[in-house]
Amino acid sequence: MKIAPIYAEMRRRSDIFAPKIVHTGQHYDAAMSDAFFTDLGLPTPDIHLGVGSGSHAVQTAKIMTEFEPVAVREEPDWVVVVGDVNSTIACALVCSKLGIQVAHVEAGLRSRDRSMPEEINRILTDSISDLLLTTSQDADANLAAEGIPADKVRFVGNVMIDSLLEHLKLAERSSIRDDLGVKAGKYAVVTLHRPSNVDNEQTFRGILEALSAVSEKVPVIFPVHPRTRANMERFGFEELIAASGITLIDPLGYLDFMRLYSGARLVLTDSGGLQEETTVLGIPCLTLRQNTERPITIEMGTNVLVGTDPGKIRQAASDALGDKPRDAKIPPLWDGHAAERICDELSHV
C-alpha cells in the first residue's frame, strides 16, 4: 500500500525514474500477496527473493544474503524502503555497507517500546538512511532528538493515505458488505496479528471475551490472519467464538477490506495502518496495544489507545458506539499527494 503510489508516480516521471520492484517474500502468504498486488494495480515484481518464514534473525539474514547480489548487479542510485518490517532494515543494511543511498518512507515513528521488533527496525533503519521521509511532524521531532541531521529529513505526509483516497471509489465495486449481510455504520471490524496479542493464551482469550461483549451491541466481523487463526485453534477458542456474535472470515484483498472497514461503525485493531486510515475516514478506532508509534492519530484523530484489558476494551467500545462522536481532524499533508512530494525530494537530492 505504501509502494503502489510511489511506483505509480515514478512511472509518470519516466524521464527521471526507472523503478524496479523487489518483493522479498517476507509476507509469504501467496494468496494475500497476489491479491494485494492485483488490487493496487502493481505489476509482477521485477525481482522476487522468495525468503519466506523464519525467526527475526533468520528472516533478516536471508533477506540480506538474497538482496545483496541484486543490489550489486542493479547498481541503483537509490533504494527506497518503507515502514518497519524485517525487509526494511535488512535491505537498508545491505545498501549502507555497499555505499548505496537509502530513502526511508515512514521514518521517525516511535512507540518507545523496544520490546517490539518493529521499533528496533525503525530506529536502526533511520540511523543509516540517507533520506528520511516523514508522515508527521512528531516524527521530525523524534529524529532531531536522536541526532539525525535536519538536512536528511523531509516532511512529506502519509503515502498510506494516497492509497486510501485513490482506491476508495474503486472499492465500492466490492460486494463484501452484501456478502456478509451488514449495512454501513451498523457493524464493527477487528484485526489482530501481533504476537503479543495472539501468542499468549490469556491475553488472546481476554480480547476475544471483550469482542464477544461488543458483538452483543453490533455484529463483529473478524478477517483472521493465518497466524491468529492457528492460535485460535491451538488454544481451543472455537466454542467461545461460536457463542458470540463474532463472524470469522478469511483474510481479504485490499479493495474488499477497504470496503469493509470504511463502512464500519467501529474498528478494533493492533495494526498501525488502520489507525491512520480510520483517522482520515472519521471512524472510531480502538488500538489494542499498550503504545503506538502513531500518536498523531490520538492527538488529532479518532484513535484511542486501550491496551488489552477486557474491561477497558468493553468500556471504550461502549463509549465509541455512543451518540457523541470524538472530535477529530485530519493531520497535515494527509492529502493524497505524499508520493508526489516523495518523488520531488528524490529527484532533488
CA torsion 122→125→127→132, rounded to 10°?
-90
Burial 124-139 (b: 16+ CB within 10 A, else e): bbbeebbbbbbbbebb
**Cα separation of 213 and 58, whole Å?**
40
Asked whether 97 and 340 are in contact (CB, 8 A), the reply is no
CA dihedral for 188, 193, 196, 201, sign (positive or negative): positive
The maximal CA–CA distance of the chain, rounded, in angstroms, is: 59
Whether residue 48 lies in the annotated active site? no
Cell, residue 279: 483517522
Q: Which of 167, 193, 225, 348 is catalytic?
A: 193
Query: Pick from 131, 129, 181, 178: which is nearest to 153 by CA?
Result: 131
Q: Cell 525530494 identifies what position? A: 345
Under DSSP, is residue 101 helix (H, G, I), strand (E, B) or coil?
Answer: strand
- Which ranges constitute the DSSP H helices of 2-48? 3-12, 30-39
So which residues are the catalytic ones? 193
